[in-house]
Structure 1
Amino acid sequence: MSALSLFDLGGQTAVVTGAASGLGLAIAEAMLDAGANLVMSDVDGPQLAAAIEGLRPRARGALHGVVTDVADAAQVDALIDTALQRHGAIDAVFANAGISAGRGFAVETGQLEHVDLAAWHRVLAINLDGVLATLRAAAKPMKARRSGRIVVTSSIAGLRAEAMSGYAYVASKAAVNNLVRQAAVELAPHNVRVNAIAPGPFATGINGGRLRLPEVAERMKTYIPLGRIADTTEIQGLALLLASHASSYMTGAVIPVDGGASAR
Structure 2
Amino acid sequence: MPSVQEMFDVSGKSVIVTGGGSGLGRAYAEVMADNGANVCIFDIDEQRLAETVDAIKAAGGSVWSQKVDVSDRAAMAAGFDAVAEKHGRIDVVFANAGIDAGPGFLTPEGDRNPDGAIDAMDDEHWDRVIAVNLSGVYTSIKNAARHMKKTGGGRIIVTSSVAAQINEAIVGTPYMPAKAGVDHLVRNTAMELGMFGIHVNCISPGPFMTNIAGGRLKNPADRAAFEAQSLIGRIGDPEDVKGLALYLASPASSYVTGAQFVIDGGSMLRIA
What TM-score, normalized by structure 1, do the two folds share? 0.96
- The answer to which of 195-204 and 4-13 deviates more is 4-13
The answer for unaligned runs of 5 or more in structure 1 is none
Aligned residue number for residue 63 of structure 2: 63
Aligned residue number for residue 3 of structure 1: 4
Partner Cα separation in structure 1 for residue 218 and residue 198 of structure 2:
37
Aligned residue number for residue 174 of structure 2: 168
Q: CA deviation at 1:191?
A: 0.7
Q: CA deviation at 1:9?
A: 1.1
SS at match of 2:174: helix
SS at match of 1:167: coil
Aligned residue number for residue 153 of structure 2: 147
Q: Deviations along 1:126-156, whole A, 9 cap, x unmatched? A: 1111100000000011112121000010000
Partner Cα separation in structure 2 for residue 244 and residue 209 of structure 1:
33
Q: After superposition, where does 1:144-223 map in structure 2 within 5 Å?
A: 144-207=150-213, 209-223=215-229
Partner Cα separation in structure 1 for residue 121 and residue 214 of structure 2:
18
Partner Cα separation in structure 1 for residue 8 and residue 216 of structure 2:
34
Partner Cα separation in structure 1 for residue 122 and residue 44 of structure 2:
23
1:48 touches 1:65 (CA, 8 Å); kept in 2? yes
Aligned residue number for residue 77 of structure 1: 77
Q: Deviations along 1:4-61, whole A, 9 cap, x unmatched? A: 321121111111010111111111111111110110110112221121112112234x
Q: CA deviation at 1:183?
A: 0.5
Aligned residue number for residue 30 of structure 1: 31
Instruction: Give the letter aligned to residue 44 of structure 1.
Output: D
Partner Cα separation in structure 1 for residue 127 and residue 67 of structure 2:
22
Q: Deviations along 1:54-97, whole A, 9 cap, x unmatched? A: 2112234x311011000011111111101101100111000000
The answer for unaligned runs of 5 or more in structure 2 is 108-112
Q: Deviations along 1:191-211, whole A, 9 cap, x unmatched? A: 100001000000111145211
Instruction: Give the letter aligned to residue 59 of structure 2.
Output: R
Q: CA deviation at 1:105?
A: 2.0
1:203 touches 1:212 (CA, 8 Å); kept in 2? no
- The answer to which of 202-211 and 98-107 deviates more is 202-211
Moved over 6 A (4+): none
Instruction: Give the letter aligned to residue 72 of structure 1.
Output: D
Aligned residue number for residue 110 of structure 2: none
1:203 touches 1:209 (CA, 8 Å); kept in 2? no
RMSD (Å) for aligned C-alpha atoms: 1.3
Partner Cα separation in structure 2 for residue 54 and residue 2 of structure 1:
30
1:146 touches 1:191 (CA, 8 Å); kept in 2? yes
Aligned residue number for residue 125 of structure 2: 119
